[in-house]
Amino acid sequence: MSLSPPVDGRLAVAKTFKLYLGGAFPRSESGRSYPVRDVSGRLMAHAALASRKDVRDAVSAARSAFGGWSGATAYNRGQVLYRVAEMMQARDAQFVDDVVAAEGVPRRKAGALVDAAIDRWVWYAGWTDKIASVLGSVNPVAGPLVNWSTPEPAGVVAVLAPQRSSLLGLVDLLAPVLATGCTAVVVAARERPLPAVALGEVLATSDVPGGVVNILTGDSAELAPWLAAHGEVAGIDLAGVPEEIATECERAAAGTLKRVLPRPAVEPDHSAVPSLARLRAWTETKTVWHPVGR
């Protein structure tokens, strides 16, 4: 739970930080937790330490939610994601506080990072009904046939959140997963989980259906190999996985032929202008042939 200082002469309500699974906030089934400290070493809270069982529950929730989320119209998904940005804007001050504590940056810098995260969410929300037009095509063929290719969501995607960019980096990885119609299991940065926890609270109070996003806090070194090997996980982004197990995770992922975005040698600049690369990564192109009468 959080160790908040007194507010206006009274003790603040202690807050227990839990997982976000299937639209609910359960404790880890293991009952474990771990201390979260700010950059100066001050104890801020105890967060849930997720287990392998929590991983399985998160994947199950994401898989159950996939049909409804991927089957929604692209316009509807865009509106839902835009609503998330609205809710983030409404809780701007909390996100700034969390980023200051997590990353040790001045408040002005933290404010700029939060604004950038909100803008990034809006950017991807605007792409939901444009992906098919840009990544799809009508293909020229001979004979009385029409042939077209269209992108479809890959399925459940596991996201190992960046270890340094606690909010903007997480949004930069998560938003394109949802924009394509995929569902997600996120493992938050172990040392900087509070912005991810706050994002989970935003998702729970927005229009995102339960199970579309599931957020685990804990040790990515413990959880990542199980996510990589899970047969219901269609893709995994290893951005925040520890370097020493990155190769192990890639090998585990190969066992079920899932898509893998490898761990970068250097964490990228998440404030840079985004491209369509992450949207393309989580789609599968399906091609259809249809006869045309003469």
- 101-117 pLDDT per residue, tens: 999 999 999 999 999 99
The verdict on residue 63 lying in a domain is yes
Q: Provide mean pLDDT across the span 247-276.
A: 91
The verdict on residue 81 lying in a domain is yes
The percent of residues in the chain predicted with pLDDT above 90, rounded, is: 77
pLDDT digits (tens, 9 = 90+) for 12-27: 766 778 999 999 999 9
What pLDDT, on a 0 to 100 scale, did the predictor assign at position 245? 94
The distance from CA 129 to its chain's CA centroid, rounded to whole angstroms, is: 20
* Cα–Cα dist 88/86, whole Å: 5
Residues 6 or more apart whose Cβ sits within 8 Å of residue 124: 81, 175, 176, 178, 179, 274, 279
Tokens 């925040």 belong to residue:
240
Residue 162 DSSP class = -
What pLDDT, on a 0 to 100 scale, did the predictor assign at position 294? 63
Number of independent structural domains in the chain: 1
Q: Provide mean pLDDT across the span 178-188.
A: 97
The verdict on residue 96 lying in a domain is yes
Helix H or strand E encompassing 86: helix 74-90
The verdict on residue 39 lying in a domain is no
The verdict on residue 213 lying in a domain is yes
The verdict on residue 97 lying in a domain is yes
The verdict on residue 268 lying in a domain is yes
Task: Pull the structure tokens for residue 71.
Answer: 């089957």
- Residue 116's domain spans which residues? 46-291
pLDDT digits (tens, 9 = 90+) for 39-86: 888 888 899 999 999 999 999 999 999 999 999 999 999 999 999 999
The verdict on residue 194 lying in a domain is yes
What pLDDT, on a 0 to 100 scale, did the predictor assign at position 61? 98
pTM of this prediction exceeds 0.75: yes
CATH number at residue 258: 3.40.605.10
What pLDDT, on a 0 to 100 scale, did the predictor assign at position 79? 97
pLDDT above 70: residue 1: no
